[in-house]
Chain A
Amino acid sequence: MNDVSKYLTVTALTRYIKYKIDNDENLRLVFLKGEISNFKEHTTGHLYFSVKDETSKINAIMFSSNAKKIGFKITDGMKVLIVGRISVYEATGNYQIYVDEMMEDGIGNLYLEFEKLKKKLSEEGLFDKEKKKPIPKFPEKIGIVTASTGAAIKDIISTIKRRYPICKTYLFPSLVQGENAADDIVNKISTAQLYDLDILIIGRGGGSIEDLWPFNEEKVARAIFSSKIPTISAVGHEIDFTIADFVADLRAPTPTGAAEMAVPNITDVVKHINNLNIRINESINTKINYQKLKVDSLRNSFILKNPMLIYENKKQKLDLLFENLNKNIFINLSNKRLLIDNFKNNYIIKNPNILYEKQKDKLLNIIQKLELVNPLSILKKGYTLTYKENKLIKSVKDINKDEIIKIKLHDGLITSKVIDKE
Chain B
Amino acid sequence: MTKEKKFEEKMEELENIVNELENGNTDLDDSINKYTKAMQLIKECDEKLKNVEEQVNKIVLENGEIKDFNIEE
Contacts and interface: CB of A to CB of B under 8 A. Distances in A.
B35 A280 contact: yes
Contacts of A288: 28
A191 B66 CA distance: 12
- Size band of the interface chain A makes with B: 35 or more
Interface stretch (A134-142, A201-209, A235-243, A347-355): A134-142
Interface in B1-18: 6-8, 11, 14-15, 17-18
Interface string A136-159: 111110000000100001100110
Nearest to B66: A170
B59 A148 contact: yes
Nearest to A168: B56
Contacts of B73: 154, 158
Contacts of B60: 170-173, 191-192, 195
Given A165-B52, A277-B42, A287-B21, A138 B7 contact: yes
Nearest to A192: B60
A331 B8 CA distance: 85
Contacts of A148: 59, 69
A156 to B, nearest CB: 9
A166 B15 CA distance: 21
- Size band of the interface chain B makes with A: 20 to 34
Nearest to B61: A173
B65 interface: no
Contacts of A269: 49
Contacts, number: 96
Contacts of A165: 52, 55
Nearest to B49: A270
B14 to A, nearest CB: 6
A66 interface: no
Nearest to B64: A191
A280 B46 contact: no
Contacts of B49: 166, 266, 269-270, 273
Contacts of B28: 287-288, 291
A327 to B, nearest CB: 52
A60 to B, nearest CB: 40
Closest 10 pairs between A and B when the two form their complex, measured CB to CB = A283-B21, A168-B56, A284-B35, A171-B59, A138-B8, A169-B57, A154-B71, A161-B55, A138-B7, A283-B22
Interface of B: 6-8, 11, 14-15, 17-18, 21-22, 28, 31-32, 35, 38-39, 42, 45-46, 48-49, 51-52, 55-61, 66, 69, 71, 73
